[in-house]
Structures are given as C-alpha cells and as structure tokens.
C-alpha cells in the first residue's frame, strides 16, 4: 500500500475541522501509530512538519470509518468494523 505525503494544513483540511494544527502536531510528536502517521526525522523542524501516512489514514482524516454493510434479514442493520 502506498504512502502519501501531506502537510499539516492538508491534514487539518481533510479532517473537516475535527483536528486543529495542535492536534496534528501532537500526533506527530506522540508517534502513537507507528507506520501510519509520522514526521520524517531530521528533515524539517516540527512547525514545518509534514506527515507520511497510509491510505487508510486519509480515510480517517476525512472522517470515513471502516463501515461495512452486513447482509441480513433487515437491510437497515450495519456492522461497524473499526
């Protein structure tokens, strides 16, 4: 799966206002999700940081969760796989 390079401003825009710049910087500093959201080391200072993210993080930032429709007797039931 490909990685995508986005700026902090792009991450904020993708989140639709759910995240602000400080939230994104916190994610960069915390590096809580290895391989998904991080800053390239020694390339830019923190305030000029960018993120290298996996495709599913683009969906996360855009507010699209991993919802799958469950086929059952009642079509309005759904199963959320997070």
Determine the pLDDT at residue 68. Answer: 40
Determine the pLDDT at residue 42. Answer: 59
pLDDT beyond 50 at 76: no
pLDDT beyond 50 at 73: no
Dump pLDDT digits (tens) for 4-55. Answer: 777 888 888 887 778 888 887 777 776 655 555 556 655 555 556 677 777 7
Q: Check if the beta carbon of residue 12 is closer than 8 Å to that of residue 28.
A: no
Determine the pLDDT at residue 71. Answer: 42
Q: Which domains are assigned to the chain?
A: 3-64 (1.10.10)
């Amino acid at each position: 799966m490909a990685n995508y390079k986005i700026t902090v401003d792009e991450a904020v825009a993708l989140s639709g206002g759910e995240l602000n710049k400080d939230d994104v910087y916190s994610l960069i500093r915390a590096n809580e999700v290895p391989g998904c959201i991080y800053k390239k080391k020694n390339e830019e200072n923190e305030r000029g940081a960018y993120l290298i993210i996996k495709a599913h993080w683009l969906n996360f930032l855009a507010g699209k969760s991993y919802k799958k429709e469950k086929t059952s007797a009642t079509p309005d039931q759904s199963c959320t796989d997070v």
